[in-house]
Chains A and B, each alone.
Chain A
Amino acid sequence: MNFPVLSVITFTPMVAAVLILLLPAQRKNEARAVALAAATFALILSLWAYFNYDQAAAGYQFVEKYTWLNLGQLNISLHFGVDGISMPLVLLTGVVMFTGVLISWGDDHPHVMAGIQDRPREFFAFLFVLASGVFGVFVSLDLFMLFFFYEIAVFPMYLLIVIWGWIVTREYAAMKLTLYLFIGSVVSLVGVLVMYWVAGQNTGVYTFDMLQMEKAGFSQTFQDIWFLPVFLGFAVLGGIWPFHNWSPDGHVAAPTAVSMFHAGVLMKLGAFAALRVGIMLLPQGAQTWSWLIMMFAAIAVVYGAYIAFVQTDFKYMVGFSSVSHMGLVMLGFSTLNRDGLLGSGVQMFSHGVMTALFFAVVGMIYDRAHTREIPELGGINKIMPFATIGFIIGGLVSMGMPGFSGFVAEFPIFMGVWGTQWLVAVIASISIVITAAYIMRNIRQVFFGELPQKFEGHLTDITILDKVAIVVLCLFMIVIGLFPNFMVPLVQTGVDNILRLLGGA
Chain B
Amino acid sequence: MFTPTVFASILPEILILVIALLVLVVEPFWKEEKRRNVGWLVAGSLLLAMVISFLFGQPGEPTATLGGMVRFDWLGFFFKQLFMFAAAVTALLLMENEKVGRRGEAYLLMLASLIGMNLMASAGDLVMLYLAIETTSIPLYVLAGFMLADEKSTEAGFKYLLFGAMTSAVMLYGFSLLFGFTGTTDIYQLIGKLQPGIATFGVLALILVGIGFKVSVVPFHFWAPDVYEGAPTPVAGFLSTASKAAGFAVLIRLFFVAFPDFAPSWTLALAILSAVTMTVGNLLALPQTNIKRLLAFSSISHAGYALIGAVALSQLGAASVVFYLAAYILTNLLAFGIVMAFSRVTGLEDLKDYSGMSRRSPWLALMMLAAFLSLAGMPPFGGFVAKVFVFAAGIQAGYVWLVVIGILNSIVGVYYYLNALKYVYLFRMPEQDEENHPVPLTRPYVIALAVLAIGVILIGTVFAPWFSWSDAAALNLF
Chain B 369-403, CB-CB to A under 8 Å as 1, else 0, gives: 10001001011100010001101100110001001
Chain A 444-466, CB-CB to B under 8 Å as 1, else 0, gives: 00000000000000000000000
Which of B415, B422, B425, B471 has a CB less than 8 Å from the CB of A72? B471
Cβ-closest chain B residue relative to A194: B395
Chain A 369-385, CB-CB to B under 8 Å as 1, else 0, gives: 00000000000000000
Contact between chains at B366 and A21 (CB < 8 Å): yes
A15 at the B interface (CB under 8 A): no
Chain B 345-384, CB-CB to A under 8 Å as 1, else 0, gives: 0000000000000110010001001000100101110001
A54 at the B interface (CB under 8 A): no
Contact between chains at B316 and A182 (CB < 8 Å): no
Contact between chains at B414 and A159 (CB < 8 Å): no
Contact between chains at B426 and A186 (CB < 8 Å): no
Find chain A residues with CB under 8 A from B315 CB: 72
B131 CB to closest chain A CB, in angstroms?
35
Contact A186-B407, Cβ < 8 Å, known A21-B366, A193-B395: yes
Contact A159-B380, Cβ < 8 Å, known A74-B316, A186-B411, A190-B403: no
B51 at the A interface (CB under 8 A): no
A152 at the B interface (CB under 8 A): yes
A306 at the B interface (CB under 8 A): no
Contact between chains at A151 and B426 (CB < 8 Å): no
Contact between chains at A69 and B414 (CB < 8 Å): no
Q: List, sorted by A's number, 8 A–B pairs whose CB atoms are closer than 8 Å.
A: A70-B464, A72-B315, A74-B467, A144-B388, A147-B388, A151-B379, A190-B400, A196-B392
Contact between chains at B395 and A190 (CB < 8 Å): yes
Contact A162-B426, Cβ < 8 Å, known A144-B388, A189-B388: yes
For the complex, give the distance between the alpha carbons of A171 and B464 in Å: 37
B410 at the A interface (CB under 8 A): yes
Contact A122-B426, Cβ < 8 Å, known A148-B384, A151-B379, A152-B379: no
B421 at the A interface (CB under 8 A): yes
For the complex, give the distance between the alpha carbons of A246 and B369 in Å: 24
A163 at the B interface (CB under 8 A): yes
Contact between chains at A25 and B362 (CB < 8 Å): yes
Cβ-closest chain B residue relative to A125: B366
B463 at the A interface (CB under 8 A): yes
Closest 3 CB pairs of A and B: A69-B464, A186-B407, A193-B395
Cβ-closest chain B residue relative to A182: B414
Cβ-closest chain B residue relative to A163: B425
Which of B316, B395, B422, B463 has a CB less than 8 Å from the CB of A162? B422
B404 at the A interface (CB under 8 A): yes
Contact between chains at B463 and A151 (CB < 8 Å): no
A320 CB to closest chain B CB, in angstroms?
26
For the complex, give the distance between the alpha carbons of A175 and B417 in Å: 11
Contact between chains at A71 and B467 (CB < 8 Å): yes
Q: Sort chain B's interface into a size bin.
A: 35 or more
For the complex, give the distance between the alpha carbons of A152 and B464 in Å: 19
Contact between chains at A73 and B395 (CB < 8 Å): no
Q: Which residues of B contact A (CB under 8 A)?
A: 315-316, 358-359, 362, 366, 369, 373, 376, 378-380, 384, 388-389, 391-392, 395-396, 400, 403-404, 407, 410-411, 414-415, 418-419, 421-422, 425-426, 463-464, 467-468, 471
Contact between chains at B421 and A159 (CB < 8 Å): yes
Contact A178-B414, Cβ < 8 Å, known A72-B315, A162-B426, A190-B400: yes
Cβ-closest chain B residue relative to A200: B396
A179 at the B interface (CB under 8 A): yes
Contact between chains at A171 and B403 (CB < 8 Å): no
Cβ-closest chain B residue relative to A167: B426
Contact A73-B316, Cβ < 8 Å, known A21-B366, A189-B388, A190-B404: yes
Find chain B residues with CB under 8 A from A144 CB: 388
Contact A151-B384, Cβ < 8 Å, known A74-B316, A190-B400: yes
Q: Which residues of A contact B (CB under 8 A)?
A: 21, 25, 68-74, 119, 121-122, 144, 147-149, 151-152, 154-155, 158-159, 162-163, 170-171, 175, 178-179, 182-183, 186-187, 189-190, 193-194, 196-197
B390 CB to closest chain A CB, in angstroms?
11
Contact between chains at B411 and A122 (CB < 8 Å): no
For the complex, give the distance between the alpha carbons of A487 and B195 in Å: 71
Find chain A residues with CB under 8 A from B369 CB: 159
| Secondary structure call for the A interface | helix
Find chain B residues with CB under 8 A from A196 CB: 392
Find chain B residues with CB under 8 A from A186 CB: 407, 410-411
Contact between chains at B407 and A189 (CB < 8 Å): yes
Contact between chains at B391 and A189 (CB < 8 Å): yes
Contact between chains at A193 and B391 (CB < 8 Å): yes
Find chain A residues with CB under 8 A from B426 CB: 162-163, 170-171
For the complex, give the distance between the alpha carbons of A182 and B408 in Å: 10
Cβ-closest chain B residue relative to A155: B378
Find chain A residues with CB under 8 A from B362 CB: 25, 121-122
Contact between chains at A182 and B411 (CB < 8 Å): yes
For the complex, give the distance between the alpha carbons of A424 and B376 in Å: 42
A243 CB to closest chain B CB, in angstroms?
15
Find chain B residues with CB under 8 A from A154 CB: 378
Contact between chains at A69 and B407 (CB < 8 Å): no
For the complex, give the distance between the alpha carbons of A147 and B391 in Å: 14
Cβ-closest chain A residue relative to B412: A179
Q: A186-B410, A194-B395, A197-B392 are in contact. List 20 more A-B contacts (CB 8 A).
A: A69-B463, A72-B316, A72-B471, A74-B389, A74-B467, A122-B362, A151-B384, A152-B378, A159-B369, A159-B421, A171-B422, A175-B415, A175-B418, A175-B419, A179-B414, A182-B410, A182-B411, A190-B395, A190-B407, A193-B391
For the complex, give the distance between the alpha carbons of A123 and B197 in Å: 62
Find chain A residues with CB under 8 A from B415 CB: 175, 179
B433 CB to closest chain A CB, in angstroms?
15
Contact between chains at B388 and A158 (CB < 8 Å): no
Find chain B residues with CB under 8 A from A70 CB: 464
Contact between chains at A162 and B378 (CB < 8 Å): no
Find chain B residues with CB under 8 A from A122 CB: 358, 362, 425
Q: Which of B315, B379, B384 counts the most chain A CB atoms within 10 A?
A: B379
Cβ-closest chain B residue relative to A132: B380
Contact between chains at A193 and B316 (CB < 8 Å): no
Find chain A residues with CB under 8 A from B376 CB: 155
For the complex, give the distance between the alpha carbons of A272 and B471 in Å: 34
Find chain A residues with CB under 8 A from B403 CB: 190, 193
Find chain B residues with CB under 8 A from A152 CB: 378-380
For the complex, give the distance between the alpha carbons of A171 and B369 in Å: 17
A496 CB to closest chain B CB, in angstroms?
33
A490 CB to closest chain B CB, in angstroms?
30
Q: Which of A70, A119, A155 counts the most chain B CB atoms within 10 A?
A: A155
For the complex, give the distance between the alpha carbons of A74 and B388 in Å: 12
Find chain A residues with CB under 8 A from B404 CB: 190
Find chain A residues with CB under 8 A from B418 CB: 158, 175, 178
Contact A68-B388, Cβ < 8 Å, known A179-B415, A186-B410: no
A158 CB to closest chain B CB, in angstroms?
6
A139 CB to closest chain B CB, in angstroms?
16
Cβ-closest chain A residue relative to B366: A21
B408 CB to closest chain A CB, in angstroms?
8
Cβ-closest chain A residue relative to B384: A151
For the complex, give the distance between the alpha carbons of A175 and B411 in Å: 11
Find chain A residues with CB under 8 A from B471 CB: 71-72
A10 CB to closest chain B CB, in angstroms?
12
Find chain A residues with CB under 8 A from B392 CB: 74, 193, 196-197
Find chain B residues with CB under 8 A from A151 CB: 378-379, 384
Contact between chains at B400 and A148 (CB < 8 Å): no
Contact between chains at B414 and A148 (CB < 8 Å): no
Contact between chains at A68 and B464 (CB < 8 Å): yes
Contact between chains at A179 and B411 (CB < 8 Å): yes
Find chain A residues with CB under 8 A from B395 CB: 190, 193-194, 197
Find chain A residues with CB under 8 A from B359 CB: 119
Find chain A residues with CB under 8 A from B378 CB: 151-152, 154-155
